[in-house]
Chain A
Amino acid sequence: MSLYYRVGAETDLGTPAPVPQAASVSLTIDGISVTVPEHTSVLRAAALAGVGVPKLCATEDLAAFGSCRLCLVEIDGRKGYPASCTTEVEAGMTVRTQSPRLAELRRNVMELYISDHPLDCLTCSANGDCELQDMAGAVGLREVRYGYEGANHLDKPQDESAPYFTFDPSKCIVCSRCVRACEEQQGTYALTIGGRGFASEVMASQNEPFAESECVSCGACVKACPTATLMEKSVVRHGQPERAVITTCAYCGVGCSFRAELQGDKLLRMVPDRNGKANHGHACVKGRFAFGYATHKDRVTTPLVRERIDQPWRKVGWDEAIDIAAKRLRHIQKRYGRTAIGGVTSSRCTNEEVYVVQKFVRTALGNNNVDTCARVCHSPTGYGLKTALGESAGTQNFDSVMQADVIMVIGANPTEAHPVFASMMKRRLRQGAKLIVVDPRAIQLVDAPHVRADHHLQLRPGTNVAVINALAHTVIDEGLEDDAFIRSRCEMEPYQTWRAFIGEPRNSPEALEEASGVPAAQLRAAARLYAKAGNGAIYYGLGVTEHSQGSTMVLGIANLAMATGNLGREGVGVNPLRGQNNVQGACDMGSFPHEFPGYRHLSDAAVRRQFEADWGVELDPKPGYRIPNMFDAAIAGEFKGLYVQGEDFAQSDPDTQHIYAALSAMECVIVQDLFLNETAKFAHVFLPGCSFLEKDGTFTNAERRISPVRKVMAPSAGMDEWEITCRLSTAMGYPMHYAHPSEIMDEIARLTPNFRGMSYAKLDQLGSVQWPCNEAAPEGTTFMHVDAFVRGKGYFAPTPYVPTDERSTARYPLLLTTGRVLSQYNVGAQTRRTEAVAYHAEDRLEMHPADAEVRGIVDGSWVGVKSRAGETVLRAKVTDLVQPGVLYTTFHYPESGANVITTDNSDWATNCPEYKVTAVQAYPVSKPSEWQEMFRRFSAEQQQLAEPVEAALGQAELAPAVVKS
């Protein structure tokens, strides 16, 4: 079957569909009868009837504006020539879109436009994709009676400052589409129309170059522009794309749908897909523009091997690389035992690729030492939501936020980390929904254009559970519970236990005020706002999970939602914002060491028998090692080999020195990745992986939406990633063969109840599907737990507040917390290889002015940061976004060493690292830290070794590897 969608330009119906869609209205347009929902515009109704009305300022992505005067029509019984974009349909209306008078009016309008427009169509970057050109043709423009010599804007200089697009005001027709896109779609309000009348012009911020303005480069304005005024630089350079493939973005957990537009196999641009159910035609700077890494010169396209990590890499063919990897793993198992090796799946890879890796570990390796990078981000979500509600997933779709009355954002920074969903959330907030932000830092949502948090509970890092308990205590204390919901939907005995616990004075806002730093009165006010919301929706991120009490906090969030009846319908819910594109999917696919695909525990004999029958092997019923356990065991000399699918522990995992020691202690590290990343510096076999543009498969986003990933270009190393794993498995004695990833999905569907109705044919038909997708819900499930919780009755788990060991002391008086910026992505392996470096060229250490002053630190100066784990040096950014006593940094550059200082503290239930709280001291310094010096030396050495030599003929020697300490 083919997964390729060859599609032409998106159809644009001119104005958005009315929301909500209510009664139908019938009317006649150019003699054609058409029935549409009431509140539909005449322009849209005409388009739906197949009648094209000329337009310039109207687009389906934006509210009607009525400025260009091209879409004029005649309506029986109405005077004049109303604009069809701003005129709503009425029953029995008779509309004419063509008449001699309308033609004359439209030609006159176009004549005026063109009198102030360069006539360089043949050399213009929009040639072939210009609505102005199309309209000139449509209205039959043949002359411009005014001439071209009058006052005009043709000599306006271009602004090339933005990395990904150009702004050429000489071509602007001031239709305001860009300005409206920035407001309505993105919600940044970076663009405006300055001046009046003829002097009107589009400007960024206070007439600044785009790169220096508030613009966040989401590209909405570029997509909206009907001319060449705002244009992708790639199109300026290469011309118009000739084909498009619908696929899914591989950055964050929003999972935007995109049209990958190409010339041959050259990807020219990624355009957000209007039909994408997660993003509705919107995008962010990363998904829209930061795809250059896929063809970056650093891509490794040949398998590499070496005996020891102080040797140069040798280029080898696939057969040899697979053979060497398999032999080394077998050698280790023979020498140290079956359980001395394991594998790690990647949240960046497809469901199908992840599935085969965990299957490989459980079958070919014969153990359960498989884990995934969700371990270090959302594993507490899996544990907490499974325990409380019965399913390890968010409860809503993204659109649900548009029905929320009160939105509580806890430990998440959507405008930076989930920007497309943040835009939707901001739209709802502008409509009047209330906002509670629980965060140690003043994230942008606290005070954004036309958005202001009603309450910012600025807690101390590490006191989430104190705050959630105090919120729940207030609900109980002030009688704000939803008794009917609790009685009908929740287990009563655990509820009574929880109620007694949470009602204790130790959980009151007053008692916890000192620990959390949140004033009790403010906390009570926030609790009342949420509990009385009508629809209260909670959105949370890694600021909830990456704590020693991450799982407790997830349970606390679920308790609060259940106690107030905010589950099981649109507009409410508990919504984890997933960090990576396929965190949800990687977890769904059985990547955790204690469970099979579909979150079923290994100890469930019936489930195990099902997998044993299908896979033809006996399976171990006991849990294996989690990632941190693997590293601890490696240091103890008991874990010797690891197959790593697309994860970069050496940069992303906490306590870098510990990770280095663990990786160095292993005899065979196999890295499958795009680049020789930090972890590959410790690897013995490198298997080149595929970017998302080179693969067929599926990703599952934060709303459980399974979306298709379609191959846009051939795998650069000539091998699909799932096939690499299959070949390795086969070489190790457990044959795995699939002809296409759709067959892997068929197997997943066969073995996993929540996926039983899934197939690639269904994805092609529906575009995307939210699981559960099975007999009961053949087209998927928008809202979870509607009539009953997946576990039956909701479970209230008591959530005692246990302060973290990472507390400020005389030696380490400050608390460091970490996060991301919009333009970069996690370890930066991809975004650092794009123009994103123009936005964020280094990680900085945010520090409150009071803390900076007492230490003699000024903005931009070098600061040493030391914890009990290690020391690094960063440049200071002095800002009151952080409160006194709190430091903040991003972790996108390896040399920053953010994880040199994070510790081995972790969540009690899941071992998810406590990235978000590290007790540190900070002080002025003049040179890099010892670790950074070591890092530079080591990186330089590895850089030299990365100039691979061609393999000698014959088989590589298989001596036990000696590793460098």
Chain B
Amino acid sequence: MTVAVEKLVRMAEQITANMAYTDDLGVVAAKVADHLNRFWDPRMRQALVDCARGVAEPLSPALSMALSRLHDIDQPHPA
């Protein structure tokens, strides 16, 4: 894991909060995923997907939705 996962989650949630001008989760998730795909190193995206589900606090719904739309990474098998 490249970066402490708590920090990655914090950063991703921050992106989500700044995209959350609407209640439409799909819109927010698409914007979050696009941002992560455009600006995050794939290793960070991978670490986020690999570890985010294991953190103590549950992810926000929009971020959860965004994770499945990330590119260049191995998506985890559905639980």
Contacting residues of chain B (17-73) with chain A, CB-CB under 8 angstroms: 17-18, 20-22, 35, 38-44, 72
Instruction: Give the distance to chain A from B37, nearest Cβ to Cβ, in Å.
Output: 8
Cα of A638 to Cα of B44 in the assembled complex, Å: 12
Q: Which residues of chain B are near A549, meaning CB under 8 Å?
A: 18
CB closest chain-B residue, reference A552? B18
Interface size class of B (residues with CB under 8 A): 20 to 34
Instruction: Give the distance to chain A from B72, nearest Cβ to Cβ, in Å.
Output: 6
Q: Which residues of chain B are near A799, meaning CB under 8 Å?
A: 21
Asked whether B72 lies within 8 Å of A601 as measured between CB atoms, the reply is no
Interface size class of A (residues with CB under 8 A): 20 to 34
Asked whether A636 lies within 8 Å of B1 as measured between CB atoms, the reply is yes
Asked whether A636 lies within 8 Å of B41 as measured between CB atoms, the reply is no
* Segment at the interface with B among A210-218, A894-902, A903-911, A952-960: A903-911
* Segment at the interface with B among A236-244, A581-589, A619-627: A619-627
Cα of A369 to Cα of B43 in the assembled complex, Å: 12
Asked whether A908 lies within 8 Å of B1 as measured between CB atoms, the reply is no
Q: Which residues of chain A are near B21, meaning CB under 8 Å?
A: 497, 501, 798-800
Asked whether A908 lies within 8 Å of B14 as measured between CB atoms, the reply is yes
Cα of A548 to Cα of B20 in the assembled complex, Å: 15
Asked whether A909 lies within 8 Å of B18 as measured between CB atoms, the reply is yes
Q: Is A633 an interface residue (CB 8 A)?
A: yes
CB closest chain-B residue, reference A620? B42
State whether A908 and B39 are in contact (beta carbons under 8 Å apart), knowing that A632-B3, A632-B4 are contacts in the complex. no
Asked whether B2 lies within 8 Å of A632 as measured between CB atoms, the reply is yes
Q: Which residues of chain B are near A339, meaning CB under 8 Å?
A: 43
Interface core residue of A368, A369, A593, A632 (most chain B CB under 10 Å): A632
Q: Which residues of chain A are near B17, meaning CB under 8 Å?
A: 800, 802, 908
Instruction: Give the distance to chain A from B14, nearest Cβ to Cβ, in Å.
Output: 4
Q: Which residues of chain B are near A800, meaning CB under 8 Å?
A: 17-18, 20-21
Q: Which residues of chain B are near A623, meaning CB under 8 Å?
A: 38-42
CB closest chain-A residue, reference B16? A908
| Interface bits A367-384 vs B (CB < 8 Å: 1, else 0) | 011000000000000000
Q: Is B7 an interface residue (CB 8 A)?
A: yes
Q: Which residues of chain A are near B3, meaning CB under 8 Å?
A: 629, 632-633, 636
Q: Is A594 an interface residue (CB 8 A)?
A: yes
CB closest chain-A residue, reference B1? A636
Asked whether A802 lies within 8 Å of B18 as measured between CB atoms, the reply is yes
Contacting residues of chain A (485-518) with chain B, CB-CB under 8 angstroms: 497, 501
Q: Which of A603, A629, A802, A910 touches B41 (beta carbons < 8 Å)? A: A629
Asked whether A601 lies within 8 Å of B2 as measured between CB atoms, the reply is no
Q: Which residues of chain B are near A798, meaning CB under 8 Å?
A: 21-22
Asked whether A548 lies within 8 Å of B38 as measured between CB atoms, the reply is no
Count, A-B residue pairs, CB within 8 A: 67
Instruction: Give the distance to chain B from A508, nearest Cβ to Cβ, in Å.
Output: 16
Asked whether B72 lies within 8 Å of A622 as measured between CB atoms, the reply is yes
Instruction: Give the distance to chain A from B15, nearest Cβ to Cβ, in Å.
Output: 5
State whether A911 and B11 are in contact (beta carbons under 8 Å apart), knowing that A632-B4, A636-B4, A800-B18 are contacts in the complex. yes
Cα of A593 to Cα of B38 in the assembled complex, Å: 10
Instruction: Give the distance to chain B from A608, nearest Cβ to Cβ, in Å.
Output: 14
Cα of A529 to Cα of B22 in the assembled complex, Å: 30
Cα of A362 to Cα of B39 in the assembled complex, Å: 16
Asked whether B41 lies within 8 Å of A593 as measured between CB atoms, the reply is yes
State whether A904 and B7 are in contact (beta carbons under 8 Å apart), knowing that A636-B1, A800-B17, A909-B35 are contacts in the complex. yes
Cα of A8 to Cα of B7 in the assembled complex, Å: 59
State whether A624 and B41 are in contact (beta carbons under 8 Å apart), knowing that A548-B14, A632-B7, A908-B15 are contacts in the complex. yes
Q: Which residues of chain A are near B1, meaning CB under 8 Å?
A: 636
CB closest chain-A residue, reference B15? A908
Asked whether B38 lies within 8 Å of A594 as measured between CB atoms, the reply is yes
Asked whether A908 lies within 8 Å of B18 as measured between CB atoms, the reply is yes
| Interface bits A597-628 vs B (CB < 8 Å: 1, else 0) | 00001010000000000000000001111000
Asked whether A802 lies within 8 Å of B39 as measured between CB atoms, the reply is no
CB closest chain-A residue, reference B20? A800
Q: Which residues of chain A are near B42, meaning CB under 8 Å?
A: 622-623
State whether A909 and B39 are in contact (beta carbons under 8 Å apart), knowing that A501-B21, A552-B18 are contacts in the complex. yes
Q: Which residues of chain B are near A594, meaning CB under 8 Å?
A: 38-39
Cα of A594 to Cα of B35 in the assembled complex, Å: 11
CB closest chain-A residue, reference B2? A633
CB closest chain-B residue, reference A593? B41
Asked whether B18 lies within 8 Å of A629 as measured between CB atoms, the reply is no
Cα of A603 to Cα of B39 in the assembled complex, Å: 11
Instruction: Give the distance to chain B from A596, nearest Cβ to Cβ, in Å.
Output: 14
| Interface bits A529-554 vs B (CB < 8 Å: 1, else 0) | 00000000000000000001101100
Instruction: Give the distance to chain A from B35, nearest Cβ to Cβ, in Å.
Output: 7
CB closest chain-B residue, reference A602? B38
Instruction: Give the distance to chain A from B22, nearest Cβ to Cβ, in Å.
Output: 8
CB closest chain-B residue, reference A548? B14
Other than the given A594-B38, A623-B40, A632-B7, 12 more pairs (CB < 8 A) read: A501-B21, A549-B18, A622-B41, A622-B72, A623-B42, A624-B41, A629-B41, A632-B3, A633-B3, A799-B21, A908-B17, A910-B39
Binding site for B on A (CB under 8 A): 339, 368-369, 497, 501, 548-549, 551-552, 593-594, 601, 603, 622-625, 629, 632-633, 636, 638, 798-800, 802, 904, 906, 908-911
**Can you pick out 16 interface pairs between chain A and chain B where the beta carbons lie within 8 Å of each other?**
A497-B21, A622-B41, A622-B72, A623-B39, A629-B3, A632-B2, A632-B3, A636-B1, A636-B4, A798-B22, A800-B21, A802-B17, A908-B18, A909-B15, A909-B35, A910-B39
